[in-house]
Structure 1
Amino acid sequence: MKHSKIAILRWFLIGLLIALVIWLLNKVDIEQVRERVDQFGIWAPVIVFGLRFTSVIVPVLPGTAYAVLAGGLFGFVQGFLVIALADLASCTFNFYIARRYGRGLVERFVGQQFMEKVDRLGKRHLERNFFLMAAFLMTGLFDFVTYAVGLTQTSWQSYLLALMASILIAKPLWVAAGAGIFEGSQLLLGFALLAAFGIGAVTAVVQRQPDQ
């Protein structure tokens, strides 16, 4: 019951942050915002990259809103590139920290109250099932999963392959949602909604897998 409440709270925060981003950007002319963003040059995507990177390393608040923001500000292609690179860098960093320094340093990043979640994910023995590991990396728990997998004996090659597969499959949906909302693209919105249902189904299935 406790874990269910935490999961519900997490998804509530994700929804709230996305709604806040959408509300804020709908209050202004998106084209004007993009023009001002363009004035920052390379620093605009660097800032969003940094925010997303930090939210994955210190997973206190969900970073999904930054993916929506990236799609809204930069469009689908550039927005996805920013988020994909941020996730690749941060998740690789998480894995390295866990593998190199162990559980003690991981707890400093995630906090004692969330370390139980990392331990619980570790009990899934994801290193024994590549597809289950990739599926977990597609869920909203992916930041915790990266730490958990790093504490196992999973090889770098296997982890990076699963990580890249999860980024290519799961990350475009939130960027597409942002781009679709602010560009008025029904195709992108439709893709995002269908993908959201798919990721939701994956999340439901993998979280029902019993600890081994």
Structure 2
Amino acid sequence: MKNSVIKKTIIRIAIIAVIVAICIFIDPINTTIKKVFMVFKMASTTGNLDIIKGYILSFGIWAPVVSFLLMIFQSIAAPIPAFLITFSNAAIFGWVKGAILSWSSAMAGAVVCFYIARFLGRDSVEKLAGKTSLESVDKFFERYGSYAILIARLLPFMSFDVVSYGAGLTSIGFWSFFWATGLGQLPATIIYSYVGGMLTGGTKMFVFGLMILFAVSILIFMIKSMWNKKSKVKL
């Protein structure tokens, strides 16, 4: 048993070391990662989503593939906001196709985070997502139990990526995680894509803020109603 644990730890360390080495020492990958972070930083700072839109469009026919990979990348690198990609997808591909692309790529990103956590363990996840953020998600899971993932996906202020990492550290089955994630993120993806397809530039950032406030109010009301009904049934 002890040898098995040691072997798994060595394998995990080796995988992390290889990934870090690739990102640092292979110049094309290192340059690309730096550029992606710079693009997201500029868009977040200025509120101008045309920066991300221009970056995705620069890849021509490969734009959908690049967008898909960007969403997975932002899932792993939790600090990057996913809604920037969702808005950009809607502006580039139209809100319906953009919503499908954003939803499917976010699902792929969630699965990647889930299995990273399950394979590499808590220590590695804390380095990726942050110890404090992960602890807050742990408490959320303890409070809401089997409904935690679905509720977390509906709440726009809950980190999509940290929830995926946190779920991977629990005993929850993959398919339960998958369906709760898919169903929970669908409403927000559709709404953000619809708005994103109509607006351009910094206006999206303003509308996003208003939508967050609206969504939070509605979701709190819904969750409270569900909780009250559940309590009455128990009584």
TM-score (norm 1): 0.68
Structure 2: distance between partners of 1:127 and 1:161: 20
- Find the residue that maps to 1:129 and give its secondary structure: helix
Structure 2: distance between partners of 1:146 and 1:109: 12
Q: Partner of 2:163 in structure 1?
A: 145
After superposition, the C-alpha distances for 1:115-141 in whole angstroms (9 at most, x for unaligned) are 211122112235963333212123241
Structure 2: distance between partners of 1:20 and 1:57: 23
Deviation at 1:146, TM superposition (A): 0.8
Q: What is the count of residue pairs matched by the alignment?
A: 173
Structure 1: distance between partners of 2:117 and 2:139: 15
- Find the residue that maps to 1:61 and give its secondary structure: coil
Alignment counterpart, residue 183 of structure 2, candidates 140, 158, 165: 165
**RMSD of the alignment, in Å?**
3.4
Q: Partner of 1:20 in structure 2?
A: 48
Q: Partner of 2:68 in structure 1?
A: 49
Q: Partner of 1:121 in structure 2?
A: 137
Structure 2: distance between partners of 1:178 and 1:126: 35
Q: Which runs of 5+ in 2 are unaligned?
A: 1-40, 201-206, 228-235
TM-score (norm 2): 0.62
Q: Are residue 154 (structure 1) and residue 172 (structure 2) matched?
A: yes
Q: Partner of 2:16 in structure 1?
A: none
**Is the 1:55–1:62 contact (alpha carbons within 8 Å) kept by the matching residues of 2?**
yes
Structure 1: distance between partners of 2:45 and 2:93: 19
**Is the 2:76–2:161 contact (alpha carbons within 8 Å) kept by the matching residues of 1?**
yes
> Residues 91-110 of structure 1: matches in 2 within 5 Å?
91-110=110-129
Deviation at 1:197, TM superposition (A): 4.7
Alignment counterpart, residue 73 of structure 1, candidates 83, 92, 117: 92
Q: Partner of 1:177 in structure 2?
A: 195
Q: Are residue 199 (structure 1) and residue 227 (structure 2) matched?
A: no
Q: 1:94 to 1:84 in 2, by over 3 A?
A: same
Structure 1: distance between partners of 2:146 and 2:210: 24
Q: 1:127 to 1:100 in 2, by over 3 A?
A: farther
**Is the 1:106–1:147 contact (alpha carbons within 8 Å) kept by the matching residues of 2?**
yes
Percent identity for Structure 1 against Structure 2: 21
Task: Please tell me whether Structure 1 or Structure 2 has the larger radius of gyration of its CA atoms.
Answer: 2
